[in-house]
Chain A
Amino acid sequence: MSLRQGSMRYPYFPGCTLKAKARGFETSAVASAGALGVHLDEMENWQCCGATFPLQADNSFPLVSPARTLASARKMGERLVTLCSACYNVLKRTNHVLRTDVGRRDKVNAFIEEDYAGDLEVMHFLEVLRDDVGFDALARSVKTSLGGLAVAPYYGCLLLRPNDELGFDDPEAPHILEDFLSALGCQVVDHPYKIECCGSYVALEPGDLASGPSRMVVESARSRGAQAIVTSCPLCQYNLDVAQQGAHGREQAGVPVIYFTQLLAIALGLPEDVLGFEGHVISPGPLLRCVGVVGSDAIA
């Protein structure tokens, strides 16, 4: 499918984090989508996906909340677009359960008083960019050259695993973020830790335990020359960002961790008020100014 201006509309699920701590992720995504002729129509009835897919075989209750969202999205159309990796993972996996496990489907449907069969297609915004907009068309829409900015993609876990349910990309050697970055004119920094876990919710454990794995990821990207890391997961963003707060922050310049949509908005030449870099520990502002892609002081 090629880029057809103003013709693509998708029901869209934002999720809690994008309405609070990761506002910039959403504002940059919605604005960029608009610039590309893609309308993300926020669903009216959405609730928290649960943030983590339940791994208990004997308890279907945690499926209820995402199932409600799915059933309600199905009434809007056949597809549902997500931005946050966790929402994508939880909604798509829940959808898979409802599609394939009749017993659990009946149980959940009975509880939410719906008759939802799992026939929605849960998509990630990256898939919309790749399949419906097209990376070629995206490259043609770039207004601000990123001038070879060296960017490391970071997938983490939630986009890729389990592959038999998500089918998002090659689980061991994914390339959608690389293709996306190339389309924006960035220099892609490949690094071995791009599919390793950042530590996820272990961040809540006392003693800064998640920062170990996170530092490995950052170090893996930084040592290969990355000037920035892109992600689509607010928790990855937080973990990688916070991990640089201590020693690393002082000894050497930190590597900003930003959402792929923020980079996209810059490339599309959108106003800086959609970027929402507030709250980032390692501010990307100085870097972006120094490579000349952002000029004003709207960036902290």
Chain B
Amino acid sequence: MINNESIVEEVVGQFGQKVFGFEEPFGLLTFTTNASDLIEVVGFLKNHPQFKFGFLTDLAGIHFPDNTGGELCSVCMLHSWENNIRVRIKVFVPISDPKVPTLTTLFAAANWQERETFDFYGIEYIGHPNLKRILNMEDMDYFPMRKEYPLEDATREDKIDALFGR
């Protein structure tokens, strides 16, 4: 029976210090790896004969402004259907040089999700076949999901912001 412990065991056994920060929030195994090892780790999990993490469920970016040196996080979530177990892998990169290797070599589904993350956070996926903005206009010059950018459209006129501490 495969459970979180056996995965941790196996992954740590394979990669040692390259994987760290194991957590289990709400039963979902989460760990961190370095950008340089991401492909290897994900590929290992995908091709593992027992784990069979053959499905990339989700790929997203996160911005932690207070986490100096690793402000941007690219998180991907794998799912093993046969064993019905999920795993979440995080990669932290500095905002000054946000470079993460692409997962498109392993999962075709990563293509647009990485483009979206690039669009939102400016995380550059090395080796991505077509890394350009997907949802926003091409000529946008900032990454809107980063925390420093305001939500509101500056051109809205019909609101009084002074009310109720909004």
Are A and B subunits of one complex?
no
Which residues of A are interface residues toward B (Cβ below 8 A)? none
Q: Which B residues form the contact surface with A (CB < 8 A)?
A: none
